[in-house]
């Protein structure tokens, strides 16, 4: 009986090899136009497009020199961004549902996993526009919707902020049998082999997500009728800001050290030099917005001491800290502009790194213009806004063109996943005689 079992198990090996060949063809054949090819190669980095589109809708809505026609353009871009976010979410759900083990392979990949932070940041831009557009048009229930979505966004952002940096130095996991799992080992080993020379500013992505959530919390608090809800939203947002900004500063120190020792990054990832503008710009806006809301809410809720105006203190401190962070952002803006002028660089998904970091830096600029008020910052914010919108158009057209040619569907994590699938599907275990 055991010999028959052995023959039966090994006879399926040819069929499994055929299955593996089909799997490899589906992954690597760029001429395929089937939906499965798109799904299996759809990585989390696509959500950077929703971040860029979302920040453009916000800039158009809050442009210092605004008009009714710009308002309606911002609404159209907002609706388009919601469509993109829902579509990308459905494709991602299909990807990790249809292809077993791909979620683990992506999570273990040292680069692709970092882009999980783009998901909550893309959602945050939608939440902000709900507050700007839907609440005035539809009433308080839209504010409740924004608040609910914000809590979901905050939880996802915090999970990104805490787990993904830890995963860079997490030891390889062991299976229930006590032996090292091959797929987990390969992923963890790749994370252990992080070299300073290979570092990019993409390390900031999971960290920035909580800063974006904090800034979004300040906006959500401004539309909540319940003052206690607004108070707790502000408090949690300050905590989120605290989990993101200090950690982002540490990563930027490491990144600056990497630039001084190993020079500018390769041309394929050179656009990532703009990413430090993200935590600085959004951190600047966030602390100013939270201070503004604290000044409004704290007196109404009798928060902190009634003998001193705690809200006003937080407002002034927020503006000063925000202005300092904005100034620090100018340094990184110069570094980024100087870096990209050194050589030509190919178009890829990384080009979306132009839009969101510059966009949130622009939001900080226009916020400073409102709070001072200042004509200089108002004009500068308008110029920055126009530049970001033009960049968004260029990157969107390039993305559509490359998507049509199937050049944008690149998933580095598939290499390890394919090995794991080949082992799982093609395994032919010889059972010792008498074992059964």
Q: Any idea what the CATH number is for the domain that residue 371 is in?
A: 1.50.10.150
Q: Are 217 and 240 in contact (CB under 8 A)?
A: yes
Cα separation values, 134 from 70, 141, 144, 215, Å? 16, 9, 11, 18
Q: Are 80 and 53 in contact (CB under 8 A)?
A: yes
Examine residue 137 and state whether it is found in any structural domain, yes or no.
yes
Q: Rounded CA gap, 51 and 396, in Å?
A: 12
Q: Does residue 332 surpass a pLDDT of 60? A: yes
The mean pLDDT of 133-162, rounded to a whole number, is 95
Going along 61-176, which residue ranges are E strands?
A: none
Q: Does residue 136 surpass a pLDDT of 90? A: yes
Split at pLDDT 50, 70, 90, the class of 166 is confident
For 81-85, 149-153, 173-177, 286-290, which range has the lowest pLDDT when averaged over its residues? 173-177
Split at pLDDT 50, 70, 90, the class of 31 is low
Q: What is the pLDDT of residue 386?
A: 96
For 105-109, 138-142, 175-179, 294-298, which range has the lowest pLDDT when averaged over its residues? 175-179
Q: Rounded CA gap, 132 and 102, in Å?
A: 37
Split at pLDDT 50, 70, 90, the class of 24 is low
Q: Is the model more confident about 262 or about 435?
A: 262
The mean pLDDT of 102-123, rounded to a whole number, is 90
Examine residue 316 and state whether it is found in any structural domain, yes or no.
yes
Helix (H) or strand (E) holding 371: helix 355-371
Contacts of 436 (CB under 8 A, 6+ apart): 1, 2, 5
The mean pLDDT of 20-47, rounded to a whole number, is 71
Q: Are 49 and 352 in contact (CB under 8 A)?
A: yes
Examine residue 128 and state whether it is found in any structural domain, yes or no.
yes
Examine residue 1 and state whether it is found in any structural domain, yes or no.
no
Q: Is the model more confident about 380 or about 12?
A: 380
Q: Which residue has the tokens 């579509």?
A: 87
Examine residue 224 and state whether it is found in any structural domain, yes or no.
yes
Examine residue 277 and state whether it is found in any structural domain, yes or no.
yes
Name the 3-class secondary structure at 377. helix
In the chain, pLDDT over 90 holds for what percent of residues? Answer: 57
Split at pLDDT 50, 70, 90, the class of 170 is low
The mean pLDDT of 191-212, rounded to a whole number, is 82
Q: What is the pLDDT of residue 268?
A: 77
Q: Does residue 171 surpass a pLDDT of 60? A: no
Q: Are 273 and 265 in contact (CB under 8 A)?
A: yes
User: Closest by alpha carbon to 233, among 246, 245, 242, 224?
Assistant: 224
Domain that holds residue 189: 9-174+181-426
The mean pLDDT of 341-347, rounded to a whole number, is 81
Domain total of the chain: 1
- Give Cα 80 to chain centroid, integer Å: 18
Q: Does residue 274 surpass a pLDDT of 60? A: yes
Q: Rounded CA gap, 206 and 292, in Å?
A: 26
Q: Rounded CA gap, 121 and 226, in Å?
A: 25
pLDDT tens track for 356-374: 999 999 999 999 999 999 9
Q: Rounded CA gap, 369 and 207, in Å?
A: 27
Examine residue 431 and state whether it is found in any structural domain, yes or no.
no
Examine residue 436 and state whether it is found in any structural domain, yes or no.
no
């Amino acid at each position: 009986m055991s010999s028959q079992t052995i023959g039966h198990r090994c006879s399926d090996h040819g069929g499994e090899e055929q299955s593996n060949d089909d799997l490899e063809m589906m992954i690597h054949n760029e001429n395929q136009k089937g939906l499965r090819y798109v799904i299996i190669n759809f990585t989390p980095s696509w959500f950077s497009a929703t971040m860029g589109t979302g920040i453009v809708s916000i800039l158009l809505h809050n442009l210092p020199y605004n008009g009714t026609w710009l308002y309606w353009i911002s609404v159209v871009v907002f609706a388009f961004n919601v469509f993109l976010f829902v579509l990308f979410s459905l494709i991602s759900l299909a990807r990790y549902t249809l292809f077993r083990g791909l979620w683990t392979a992506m999570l273990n990949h040292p680069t692709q996993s970092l882009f999980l932070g783009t998901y909550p940041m893309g959602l945050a831009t939608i939440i902000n526009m709900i507050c700007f557009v839907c609440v005035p048009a539809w009433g308080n229930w839209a504010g409740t919707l924004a608040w609910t979505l914000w809590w979901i966004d905050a939880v996802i952002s915090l999970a990104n902020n805490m787990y993904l940096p830890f995963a860079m130095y997490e030891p390889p996991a062991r299976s229930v049998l006590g032996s090292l799992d091959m797929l987990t080992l390969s992923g963890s080993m790749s994370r252990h082999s992080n070299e300073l020379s290979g570092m990019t500013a993409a390390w900031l992505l999971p960290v920035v997500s909580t800063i974006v959530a904090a800034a979004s919390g300040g906006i959500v608090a401004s539309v909540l009728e319940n003052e206690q809800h607004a108070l707790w939203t502000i408090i949690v947002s300050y905590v989120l800001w605290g989990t993101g900004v200090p950690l982002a500063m540490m990563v930027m120190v490491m990144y600056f050290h990497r630039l001084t020792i190993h020079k500018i990054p390769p041309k394929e990832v050179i656009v990532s030099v703009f990413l430090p503008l993200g935590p600085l710009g959004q951190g600047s806006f966030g602390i100013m917005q939270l201070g503004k809301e604290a000044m409004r809410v704290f007196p109404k809720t009798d928060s902190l001491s009634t003998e001193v105006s705690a809200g006003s203190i937080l407002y002034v401190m927020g503006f000063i800290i925000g202005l300092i962070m904005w100034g620090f952002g100018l340094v990184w803006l110069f570094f980024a502009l100087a870096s990209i002028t050194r050589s030509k660089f190919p178009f890829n998904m990384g080009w979306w790194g132009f839009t969101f970091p510059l966009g949130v830096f622009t939001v900080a600029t226009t916020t400073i213009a409102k709070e001072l008020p200042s004509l200089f910052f108002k004009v500068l914010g308008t110029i920055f806004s126009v530049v970001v919108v033009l960049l968004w158009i260029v990157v969107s057209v390039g993305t559509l063109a490359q998507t049509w040619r199937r050049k944008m569907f690149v998933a580095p994590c598939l290499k390890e996943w394919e090995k794991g699938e080949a082992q799982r599907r093609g395994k032919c275990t010889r059972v010792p005689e008498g074992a059964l």
